[in-house]
Amino acid sequence: MPRRPICMDCHREVLWTVTDAGKRLAVDPAPDDTGNTAVYRDGLGTYRSRRPSEELPRMAWEKLHIPHVATCPARTRTPTQQRPAVLPPGVLDLAAYRRKAGGRP
């Protein structure tokens, strides 16, 4: 049996799905009831994924999975890793400028 593709960042196996919008989304291969992505396999063998909602809840043939980007150890960061406390000389904090400019969230 062929191996599943692996994440290039953490080297764990992932399951590639196609969303309703036609985009590719990597999910963890093991189903998880705490997940927020419904995954099923269509008639051609392609894994499809979508976000269940109140209008269209999870169907019986779909299983819940967690998107891999939420569990990838190489991508998850603690709040202290997001931005250094002091920026290097010559580097501007554009986020602070954009907040002052207003007009855009």
Confidence of residue 2 (pLDDT cuts 50, 70, 90): low
CA atoms of 33 and 64, how far apart (whole Å)? 6
SS3 label, residue 18:
strand
Question: What confidence score (pLDDT) does residue 95 get?
Answer: 73
Q: What is the pLDDT of residues 67-93, one digit of tens each?
A: 999 998 887 655 555 666 788 888 877
Asked whether residue 36 carries a pLDDT value surpassing 90, the answer given is yes
Q: Which tokens go with 81? A: 């890793």
SS3 label, residue 2:
coil
Whats the size of the chain, residue-wise?
105
CA atoms of 95 and 27, how far apart (whole Å)? 31
The pTM of this model reads: 0.68
CA atoms of 89 and 18, how far apart (whole Å)? 44
